[in-house]
Structure 1
Amino acid sequence: MTLPEKLLHFIWRYRLYRTVRLSTVSKKNLSIRDTGYQNHHAGPDFLAARIRIGDTEWAGSVEIHLRASEWNTHRHHRDKAYNNVILHVVYEDDKIICREDGTFPETLVLKPLIPKYVLSNYRDLMSGMYWIPCEKLVHRIPGFHRSQWLSRLLIERFEYRVSAIYELLSEQQGNWEATCYLWAARSFGFKVNAEPFEQLARSLPLTILAKYRHSQQNIEALFFGQAGLLEQPAFADTYPRKLQQAYNYLRRLHALTPLDASSWKFLRTRPGNFPSIRIAQFAALYIRTVHLFAALTDAENTNQLKAIFRELPVNRYWAGHYRFDVPSSRHGFQLGMQSIDNLLINMASGILFAYGKYVGKEMYIYRAVTLLEGLKTEKNSVLMRFSTLGIRAEHAAESQALLQMKSFYCDRKRCLECGIGLQLIKNNE
């Protein structure tokens, strides 16, 4: 396996090489006081390093290559930005190079300094064809290190959601209620119907809903009508007929264009998750709470947040139907406890964290984190697989962190950037 340059960055950053009795290619004594910080922009790889070479202590940049000749290949010898490189770190020294100003940087060769187990551990992670690269090794990681890494991943997951929420906020010209409305709609889609749910919300602005907040029939007619579920010529049941009649009037009044009903996915979806049921619940939420963002940010604890989604005024028609004109046995039609928890995890916590960061109030950030720490973990195949490997999330904060790790680290084999990968590569057992 060819070593990637990022592995050398990793080895340099975490000092995974013999650090005593170091010397440069020119036989000068070398002492690494500070490796510097990694530069992710143009220019040398590490900045603000402090290195003692011979009797002189230097402060400047460090450039890292697999082979010394790559200095010229990358045209650093013609770039003034590399004149402040105080040390050239390479795996193999195959060429004498010089800076743009004609001087020669000191060179450190890593190849004889890197312990064999470091490279072996890295190869084991990269070459395995497992569900996660460290599947056979992760049990070696002490719980403390794993917990520390999951705490960092939770904040990273929040930041990932914050970015998406801020995009919506910018699009909605700083209107938090409108942003929350779109974010909530996506969440009510529960992944399978997230996209059409967002399109439904976009087609039905809050300004229109606010006009009919005291009319349950009109609110339901607007949601089902804009969803494209009232487009058939005639209904047998009275309830959808009345909704259709109300929607036809409102459609003309507000010049509305419905979605194509084919956008919604019913196939391979449990009846309780049918989009018709979720739309009925979403409509009921906005019948009760037009100002959802205000309700979320005013809630002071988890019980108050859960109360927003409990016992919604869902039309009782849905107690005996999953679709219009298709009777079924009697069933629950309210949001279940697990669905409410999922909405709090995927929707409410993100809004609270994003708003807290936006206005600079730690109170909302703390509420978002505390909310997840007080909720049970989700139930999905990813978390079940982690559990079989001995990694069990104690609460939703940890389960969210594990999902972040799987999607953004394990699936992309970013072991060099992973806290667990770091411990495994350093492990000399």
Structure 2
Amino acid sequence: MQEDFLHYVWQHQYFDKASLRTEQGDAIVVLKPGFRNADAGPDFLGARLMIGEVEWNGAVEIHLRASDWHRHQHQHDRKYDQVILHVVHTADQPVHRTNGSEVPALALQPRLDAGLLYAYEALMAADEVRPLPCAAALPTVPEVTRLMMVERVLLERVEQKAAAVQELHERSGYDWETTAWQVLAAGFGFKKNAEPLTRLAQALPLPVLRRHRHDLAQTEALLLGQAGLLPAADEATDDYCAQLRREYDFLAHKYQLGGTALAAHEWNFLRLRPANFPPVRLAQLAALIHAQPRLFQPLLDAPDVATLARMLLAPVSEYWQHHYRPGVAATGKVPALGRSSAHLLISNVVVPLRVAHAQSLGDREGVEAAVELLTQLPREQNSVLAPYEALRFQHRSAADSQGLLALQRGYCQPRRCLHCAIGSRILQRNVPTPAP
């Protein structure tokens, strides 16, 4: 059993409350269980209890064993002096506040329903290989509960991504153009190279790129050279590589960029298809910058997914249609950035960017319109989502895909069933009906 289960039981009052008494023998009436505390200190704040003949207002602390109070050193922490009830599974010893007064204790072990406990333990003991711990009980959950949970976690996921964008915006001096550049660069790294591309965007100022965006070769030289992916002048194996090296050396000296350049070993090539190699992605990013005088406003103003996709799918230079690495020719034509990749960029870059911007203006309709873009995108298909489809979760668009990914990563994988509406519904079926 985890302490989280006792939090859930106390929050929803899913225990036998007949003749409720403290370990000290005083009658208890729960007038208000309080609300979960997300900060340091007791687990529940704002509780109202009748203990004996006295009404108490304060905090409730929850532990598996009463002795955890001392293990966590609460007896020396004044934040816990406001605790009016110590709710535990097993009351193995009395505990005291910093002034020496004893904290009333309530032991839940004899008051927990066996069916509820069994349902909880079944969820927690589910095979770790199984993506959904609730798979066996899922047919008992109404469709509307599933839909509501997926929508909830979709909004949580979008909110988390928008918060990251807002943090970048603050660090950039509240410059939306720089923010768009850094978020877009990270997006072009997709999963494997998002981190080095984020650092590259920080190491290559957007004003420098803008100044040379009219010349695609110079734009490529800045990106590839600052990424540490261009061969040295005496190692270039073709004229174009030699040209890029010369361009970069001149521009790096002019703008004093060399000290912040990345090294080649910082990029991930392992288990990537050649079409996804970092030099190819940088060439695609260079093509986008070359084609767009500005980044932020077009990403913000594009009326639909088709317009955004056309913007993101800017054609690369002739050289990068036939090379995966500088100086290394491909055996055939290098695939261009695919429509599915453009759709991922819209999901992971454009939508969070638009949401963050709308939130900064207090524009609720703008937030809704940004999230609505996800419904215009086709659903994603991968091994993470396949089990949810097999269990007949609705999966019609990228909005569903993003919601299901958030459900898997935020709830199913870490077994946070007690915080999930689906898991909660399964447990509620095992809560006994109180006697009249």
TM-score (normalizing by structure 2): 0.86
Matched, 1:265 2:268: yes
Structure 2 residue aligned with 1:254: 255
Is residue 324–residue 334 contact of structure 2 (8 Å, CA) maintained in 1?
Answer: no
DSSP 3-state at the match of 1:381 = coil
Structure 2 residue aligned with 1:399: 401
Q: Give the Cα separation in 2 of the matches to 1:260 and 1:83.
A: 54
Q: Give the Cα separation in 2 of the matches to 1:169 and 1:241.
A: 37
Structure 2 residue aligned with 1:17: 15
Structure 2 residue aligned with 1:168: 168
Aligned length: 425
Is residue 231–residue 326 contact of structure 2 (8 Å, CA) maintained in 1?
Answer: no
Is residue 231–residue 241 contact of structure 2 (8 Å, CA) maintained in 1?
Answer: no
Structure 2 residue aligned with 1:289: 292
Structure 2 residue aligned with 1:45: 43
Q: Give the Cα separation in 2 of the matches to 1:23 and 1:90.
A: 14
Q: Give the Cα separation in 1 of the matches to 2:293 and 2:426.
A: 51
Cα distance change on mapping 1:275 and 1:102 into 2, 3 Å: closer
Matches within 5 A, 1:64-75: 64-68=62-66, 70=68
Q: Give the Cα separation in 1 of the matches to 2:218 and 2:389.
A: 47
Structure 1 residue aligned with 2:188: 188
Cα distance change on mapping 1:355 and 1:22 into 2, 3 Å: farther
Cα distance change on mapping 1:64 and 1:318 into 2, 3 Å: closer
Alpha-carbon shift at residue 17 of structure 1 (Å): 1.6
Q: Deviations over 1:287-307 (max 9, x none)?
A: 112421122122233333233
Structure 1 residue aligned with 2:361: 359
Alpha-carbon shift at residue 186 of structure 1 (Å): 1.2
Q: Deviations over 1:1-42 (max 9, x none)?
A: xx33322111111222234x3421466664433221012334
Matched, 1:323 2:325: yes
Structure 1 residue aligned with 2:124: 126
DSSP 3-state at the match of 2:268 = coil
Q: Alignment partner for residue 370 of structure 1, among 366, 369, 372?
A: 372
Q: Give the Cα separation in 2 of the matches to 1:341 and 1:181.
A: 18
DSSP 3-state at the match of 1:161 = helix
Structure 1 residue aligned with 2:5: 7
Q: Deviations over 1:74-125 (max 9, x none)?
A: 5656766555544443333444556666766654432232111221122222
Q: Give the Cα separation in 1 of the matches to 2:264 and 2:68.
A: 57
Q: Deviations over 1:62-82 (max 9, x none)?
A: 233334455566565676655
Q: Give the Cα separation in 2 of the matches to 1:217 and 1:102.
A: 75
Of 86-95 and 212-221, deviating more is 86-95
Cα distance change on mapping 1:7 and 1:208 into 2, 3 Å: same
Cα distance change on mapping 1:65 and 1:243 into 2, 3 Å: closer
Is residue 146–residue 393 contact of structure 2 (8 Å, CA) maintained in 1?
Answer: no
Of 389-398 and 204-213, deviating more is 389-398
Is residue 93–residue 109 contact of structure 1 (8 Å, CA) maintained in 2?
Answer: yes
Q: Deviations over 1:110-149 (max 9, x none)?
A: 2232111221122222223323333443444322112211
Structure 2 residue aligned with 1:423: 425
DSSP 3-state at the match of 2:58 = strand
Structure 2 residue aligned with 1:159: 159
Is residue 80–residue 101 contact of structure 1 (8 Å, CA) maintained in 2?
Answer: no
Q: Deviations over 1:354-409 (max 9, x none)?
A: 22223322233113211112212223221123333443532222222222232233
Q: Deviations over 1:261-286 (max 9, x none)?
A: 33333343223212222111100110
Structure 2 residue aligned with 1:213: 213
Is residue 323–residue 334 contact of structure 2 (8 Å, CA) maintained in 1?
Answer: no
DSSP 3-state at the match of 2:214 = coil
DSSP 3-state at the match of 2:384 = helix
Aligned-residue sequence identity (percent) comes to 37
Matches within 5 A, 1:96-115: 107-115=105-113
Structure 1 residue aligned with 2:305: 302
TM-score (normalizing by structure 1): 0.87
Alpha-carbon shift at residue 315 of structure 1 (Å): 0.9
Is residue 24–residue 106 contact of structure 1 (8 Å, CA) maintained in 2?
Answer: no
Structure 2 residue aligned with 1:244: 245
Mark the runs of 5 or more structure 1 residues left unpaired by the alignment.
none
Is residue 80–residue 100 contact of structure 1 (8 Å, CA) maintained in 2?
Answer: yes
DSSP 3-state at the match of 2:64 = strand
Q: Deviations over 1:193-230 (max 9, x none)?
A: 22232233223211111211222222122222223333
